Chains A and B, each alone.
Chain A
Amino acid sequence: ELKVEQNPLFLSMQEGKNYTIYCNYSTTSDRLYWYRQDPGKSLESLFVLLSNGAVKQEGRLMASLDTKARLSTLHITAAVHDLSATYFCAVSTMYSGGGADGLTFGKGTHLIIQP
């Protein structure tokens, strides 16, 4: 059974600071996703990471993937209040390898950025 673990689950930080969210997963997978969810809202795709060593950046967020360690990180640089949200990592489960793969999500990291 694929397990996806995020830490921390809750993070309160000040604007201007840097921090990293970690996502570990238990079995081989070919795709890792990061999503953002605002309270009561849907999931917004942030990054798709496909290969070992992949690094993607969008604004103050940067995501990386180490498939050998089964670890992805989401790094926040110089945080601003607008980045307050819950961040989920999700891994493609590859049940059959040929069909539509469901995603297994971590529990999410609830991020609060205070002025």
Chain B
Amino acid sequence: EPEVTQTPSHQVTQMGQEVILRCVPISNHLYFYWYRQILGQKVEFLVSFYNNEISEKSEIFDDQFSVERPDGSNFTLKIRSTKLEDSAMYFCASSRGHHSNQPQHFGDGTRLSIL
């Protein structure tokens, strides 16, 4: 069964540094998402992406965040100047369509640790 793949599985970065989290969505999916989950807490929506542009974003997704689909397969989340509170598990997800009964499929996540 096709899967959403994320790299790296764990990223350790110094505060203030830039990080790029990478995702390869399922190949025939058109909608892409980033979520984060701070340890022990609920999953929070960051941003959605469709047709090469941001579709929706939450209050968490401020100017330090950006997303990009640099080629036909990768979907990236960049955090420009990391803060301690950015430490979390970041999940990428993709879905086939908007008006469908298909769920969003999640990757295994990238654990981001900011020191």
Note all chain B residues with C-beta closer than 8 A to A105: 42-45
B56 with A33: CB separation less than 8 A: no
Mark the stretch among A12-20, A66-74, A75-83, A95-103 that contacts chain B: A95-103
Asked if A52 lies at the interface with its beta carbon under 8 angstroms from chain B, I say no
Q: Label chain B's interface by main secondary structure.
A: strand
Please measure, in the bound complex, the distance between the C-alpha atom of A90 and the C-alpha atom of B49, giving whole angstroms.
19
A102 with B33: CB separation less than 8 A: yes
Asked if A21 lies at the interface with its beta carbon under 8 angstroms from chain B, I say no
Q: Count how many pairs of residues, one from A and one from B, have CB atoms less than 8 Å apart in the complex.
A: 71
Asked if A61 lies at the interface with its beta carbon under 8 angstroms from chain B, I say no
CB 8 Å contact bits of B64-106 with A (1 = contact, 0 = none): 0000000000000000000000000001000100100111111
Note all chain A residues with C-beta closer than 8 A to B101: 48, 50
Pick from A99, A103, A108: contact of B50, CB under 8 Å: A99
Q: Taking beta carbons and an 8 Å cutoff, which residues of A are in contact with B?
A: 33, 35, 41-45, 48, 50, 88, 90, 93, 95-96, 98-108
A-B contacts besides A105-B45, A107-B42, 8 pairs, CB < 8 Å: A42-B107, A44-B106, A100-B31, A100-B32, A100-B55, A100-B98, A101-B98, A103-B45
